């Protein structure tokens, strides 16, 4: 792959990362990268702005620049922190600003997005990060880092040597690691998100409430079973360990979290259901004899049509 001049580190200073999507995750990342000495610019679609980040009791201001104000072909490294459903639109807007051979990276959940790249809108690979970092906006509008989690970044087929765009910059964040098998990491996250996210959003409960020894836990087991058999049939789950045990571990580790889908439902935003359960069902429909998936189908319909009870 050729690299545009702006995508190469100059001297000891790595090339600048542009972060498109000035929501909670993008803002926290911009703040953390700058603090680690990595040149970075947070970009928004709606003109210059400012965000406030609350970290360890201190309030920090993070400047947002307008994407429109960037010069053509000036972006050599772009971290897309929008949700899966907005990635195509973001790429469409960012396209003219991208340098030849720019690096594109996203930590979005799900599969089946970035159709714009597939249809030739921007002819660049979109690299993936798998992240459990979580942030939210408090009642005062401050962005709060809920969990630093861990973030794994990789390029399929590049097992040993992290890409330069990772080792010269992102690797300075201690919770960011190079992942030799990024496809397996994406598949596992997809499986987990196809279970916890729709169930917690539909039941309006915390992740840990799915271990309630009652209805929540019964549905968790049923959904994990059907997601696992369908993913196996699709060649997207290869692990010997059961997905149910794995998802229980995640519920325990993130017990006090509101899943990202529940946060979207509560805030009245579009959810990622089309790139999680919707994508699973879409792929399953091509199987000759798909395993049953009644709970996934019901949850997909309820979340798509916002048929979510006020209280569970
Ligand atoms: O990734 C998550 C999300 O909320 O999107 C989990 C793992 C379910 C943690 O909340």
Decide: 259 in ligand 1 pocket, CB within 6 A.
yes
Residue with tokens 């798509």: 304
pTM for this predicted structure: 0.90
277-284 helix and 294-304 helix, angle to the nearest 10 degrees: 130
Decide: 127 in ligand 1 pocket, CB within 6 A.
no
Give the pair of three-digit tokens for residue 25: 């995750």
Neighbours of 37 (CB within 10 A): 12
Give the up-direction half-sphere exposure of residue 283: CA atoms within 13 A in the CB hemisphere. 17
Highest-scoring range by mean pLDDT, 1-10, 130-139, 202-211: 202-211
Tell how strand 126-131 and strand 151-154 pair up: antiparallel
Average pLDDT over residues 277-301: 97
Q: Tell me the per-residue pLDDT of 191-219, one tens digit each, with 9 for 90 and over.
A: 999 999 999 999 999 999 999 999 999 99
The residue whose CA has the least distance to atom 4 of ligand 1 is: 259
State how far the Cα of 219 lies from the Cα of 199, in Å rounded to an integer.
Answer: 8
Ligand 1: which atom is nearest the Cα of residue 109?
A: 5
HEC profile of 208-252:
HHHHCCCHHHHHHHHHHHHHHHHHHHCCCCCCCCCHHHHHHHHHH
Give the burial class of 240: count Cβ atoms within 10 A of its Cβ; 0-12 exposed, 13-18 middle, 19 or more buried.
exposed
Enumerate the H helices of the chain as residue ranges: 24-35, 87-94, 115-118, 164-167, 182-203, 215-233, 243-253, 260-267, 277-284, 294-304
Decide: 193 in ligand 1 pocket, CB within 6 A.
yes
79 by DSSP, 3-state: which? Answer: strand
What pLDDT, on a 0 to 100 scale, did the predictor assign at position 310?
A: 67
CA of 68 to the centre of ligand 1 (A): 32
Decide: 263 in ligand 1 pocket, CB within 6 A.
no
Q: Tell me the catalytic residues.
A: 189
């Amino acid at each position: 792959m050729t690299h545009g001049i702006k995508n190469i580190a100059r001297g000891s200073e790595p090339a600048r990362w542009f972060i498109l999507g000035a929501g909670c995750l993008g803002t926290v990342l911009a703040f953390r990268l700058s603090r680690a000495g990595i040149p970075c610019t947070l970009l928004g679609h709606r003109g210059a702005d400012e965000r406030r980040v609350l970290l360890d009791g201190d309030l920090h201001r993070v400047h947002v620049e307008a994407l429109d104000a960037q010069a053509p072909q000036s972006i050599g490294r772009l971290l897309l922190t929008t949700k899966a459903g907005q990635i195509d639109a973001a790429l469409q807007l960012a396209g003219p600003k991208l340098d030849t051979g720019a690096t594109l990276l996203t930590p979005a959940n799900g599969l089946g997005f970035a159709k714009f790249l597939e249809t030739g809108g921007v002819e660049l690979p979109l690299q993936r990060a798998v992240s459990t970092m979580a942030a939210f906006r408090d009642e005062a509008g401050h962005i709060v880092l809920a969990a630093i989690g861990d973030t794994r970044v990789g390029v399929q087929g590049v097992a040993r040597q992290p890409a330069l765009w990772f080792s010269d910059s992102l690797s300075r964040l201690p919770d960011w690691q190079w992942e030799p098998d990024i496809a397996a990491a994406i598949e596992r996250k997809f499986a987990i998100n196809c279970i916890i996210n729709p169930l917690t959003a539909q039941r309006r409960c915390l992740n840990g409430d799915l271990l309630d020894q009652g209805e929540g836990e019964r549905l968790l087991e049923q959904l994990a079973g059907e997601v696992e058999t369908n993913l196996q049939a699709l060649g997207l789950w290869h692990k010997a360990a059961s997905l149910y045990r794995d998802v229980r571990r995640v519920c325990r580790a993130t017990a006090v979290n509101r899943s990202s889908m529940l946060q979207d439902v509560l805030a009245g935003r579009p959810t990622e259901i089309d790139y999680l359960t919707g994508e699973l069902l879409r792929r399953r429909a091509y199987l000759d004899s798909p395993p049953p998936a009644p709970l996934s189908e019901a949850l997909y319909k309820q979340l798509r049509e916002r048929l979510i009870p006020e209280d569970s």
